[in-house]
Chains A and B, each alone.
Chain A
């Protein structure tokens, strides 16, 4: 079943197109990795899917809902089915525990369920010793893990990740990747992950999209994209010959 369908999506800022008529589909439970140089439009695409911005033209269909025509209340419902881990996450000026509970408190869940989910999410990202720490005192990598815990605590159906492991050391990258794989394989969570790391994109993605200058150059399986690219620009990018 198709969970996310993007059709001829464009986004223009001032006179410049950040995205130009992008189209792709993702199946429920799929793991889609998005690669491309800086400024390719990866973040813009994720922000449009999460309804943080309005597209200039084109459509996004999530779970049968056409996102661009949703009324405000339904927009909140759609967002609550998604989770977004930002490239430069921010934490609220409270404890790690309260930070992870933030999204849950918006949903008016019973306090014992919030407590249970928060502890589970914090343990998953390896921050069990940090629950009572003030989040603003954490390092960049720890903040990134708090951000991931905060998002997975809401148990999203579609998880959007924007360079979510960029600030992490190799051990924590492995830990986060395991969490993502677990969510994807065991819980059937659909994941769209933008990354600069080719190896990560190859390791995790069922399908991979190569975005450049706002255009989706090529979409295929990890094997296709990394071993048999159809487009010469994809080939140049993954072989490291492209200077951008």
Chain B
């Protein structure tokens, strides 16, 4: 019993030491930790930006146009919204590997490959949320905008404007998913130090190696980033909130 207590105390000391290390790494602006963070933001930010560029127009077209197979498209987009990152990683890996159809581009184990994988992950999320948002807004505002003399383009812009908060929420969710996933970027990025090591892949590696200081530091930064994204979204949302 006493032995167990001593062991637990020893473990606790080890964790406290790791936490102290983590704080030191963050506040001493450790180049490796900050390099990993910047790479993660760059990869996930670029992927989310590209996903927004594709997902918003696609979501608007799929949400506002009337076409045959609309229900099937809904199901496909909803399924794609929940694609497991490792599956995306696997297919991107197969496409980009030397013997794959895009092997000649030599993109495997580069940040570009990581961006491609996360772009595939984020696009359906933004598309799906945009699709649902514009549909509900269209239902509410279509007649009013048309009766006020809107052309089709003006109607679409009005709908986009009214759906902006939901679409922005979709972008935040997509960024959150991208920056916190491990499977896809591990497979196509390779977790190479100073090259393709992102926050999540580094956390996995450092934990396996028992180097908890850096893992905790990156974990704190990841949570802080999630909080920051949420804060930006809430601030923007409050700008349009109704106070009665």
Contact = CB atoms under 8 A, between A and B. Distances in A.
B interface, how many residues as a size bin?
Answer: 20 to 34
B147 interface: yes
A90 B141 contact: yes
A70 B161 CA distance: 29
Given A92-B158, A103-B148, A134 B141 contact: no
A150 B149 CA distance: 12
Contact of B152 (A47, A72, A84): A72
Interface in B133-172: 140-141, 143-152, 154, 158, 161-162
Contact of B243 (A79, A82, A137): A137
A79 B146 contact: yes
Nearest to A47: B143
- Secondary structure type dominating chain B contacts: helix
A80 B151 CA distance: 10
Contacts, number: 53
Contact of A90 (B144, B149, B151, B244): B144
Given A134-B242, A137-B243, A137-B244, A86 B143 contact: yes
Contacts of B148: 102-103, 106, 150-151, 154
A93 interface: yes
B150 A90 contact: no
A52 interface: yes
Nearest to A80: B149
A136 interface: yes
A52 B243 CA distance: 32
A83 B148 CA distance: 7
Interface in A71-95: 72, 76, 79-80, 82-84, 86, 89-90, 92-93
Interface residues of A, number: 26
A92 B141 contact: yes
A93 B152 contact: no
A90 B144 CA distance: 7
18 contacts: A50-B146, A51-B146, A52-B143, A52-B146, A52-B147, A76-B150, A76-B151, A79-B146, A82-B147, A84-B147, A86-B143, A90-B140, A90-B144, A92-B161, A93-B162, A103-B148, A106-B154, A137-B243
Interface of B: 140-141, 143-152, 154, 158, 161-162, 240, 242-244
Interface of A: 47, 50-52, 72, 76, 79-80, 82-84, 86, 89-90, 92-93, 102-103, 106-107, 134, 136-137, 150-151, 154
Given A52-B146, A136-B242, 8 more contacts: A72-B152, A79-B146, A84-B147, A86-B143, A90-B144, A137-B242, A137-B243, A154-B148
